Amino acid sequence: MSEIEIRVVRYDSLVAQQLVADALADLGRRYGGSGDETPVDVRDFESPSGAFLVAYLGGEPVGCGAWRSHGDDGETAELKRMYTAPAARGRGVARAVLGAVERSAREHGRKRLILECGDKQPEAIAMYESCGYVRIENFGYYRDSPDCLSYGRPL
């Protein structure tokens, strides 16, 4: 199996935008609509306030994940845009990306990572829970949605 390589890229890069489009299409199939209506800005994922990471297998982009600052305390980061291409699933890409996102957020002084996940993503929920994430009170754009499950974990 090829080694997973993870690189920080700009959110508005072509590779990032293709992966985000694929992620939103996947979410749209599960939930309808555009997949995720949460407002994001390219600046959300620029250092020191965030980062966008892309996973490569055999030189091909196969997954992504990002973090952005959350709140005003400078200690909390929000996980966004986690995605693995279907052909690369089951090969450890998501766990590698999640670990890289956690390290990046920690290196930028964040002490906690939080995320929103929909209830129609059992594979993501299982991964987050197996990585030590626990349910927290819903927050953010989907806080009032009955389909939203929020998680958090200290870094």
CATH number for the domain that contains residue 18: 3.40.630.30
Dist. CA 19–CA 36, nearest whole Å? 14
> What does the pLDDT look like over 37-91, one tens digit per residue?
888 999 999 999 999 999 999 999 999 999 999 998 899 999 999 999 999 999 9
Dihedral angle, C-alpha 128, 64, 18, 12, nearest 10 °:
120
Kindly tell me if the per-residue pLDDT of 30 is higher than 70.
Answer: yes
* Contact call for residues 63 and 19 (beta carbons, < 8 A): yes
Dist. CA 66–CA 52, nearest whole Å? 4
Percent of the chain predicted with pLDDT > 90: 88
> What does the pLDDT look like over 84-113, one tens digit per residue?
999 999 999 999 999 999 999 999 999 999
pLDDT at 110: 98
Kindly tell me if the per-residue pLDDT of 1 is higher than 70.
Answer: no
What is the DSSP code string of 53-91?
A: EEEEETTEEEEEEEEEEESSSSSEEEEEEEEE-GGGTTS
pLDDT at 33: 83
| Whether this model's pTM surpasses 0.75 | yes
Per the structure, the complete domain to which residue 132 belongs is given by 4-154
Cα-flanking dihedrals φ and ψ of residue 106, to 5°? -60, -45
pLDDT at 37: 82
Cβ atoms < 10 Å from Cβ of 23: 21
Q: Which of 111, 116, 105, 122 minimizes the C-alpha distance to 151?
A: 116
**Greatest distance between any 2 Cα atoms in the chain:** 42
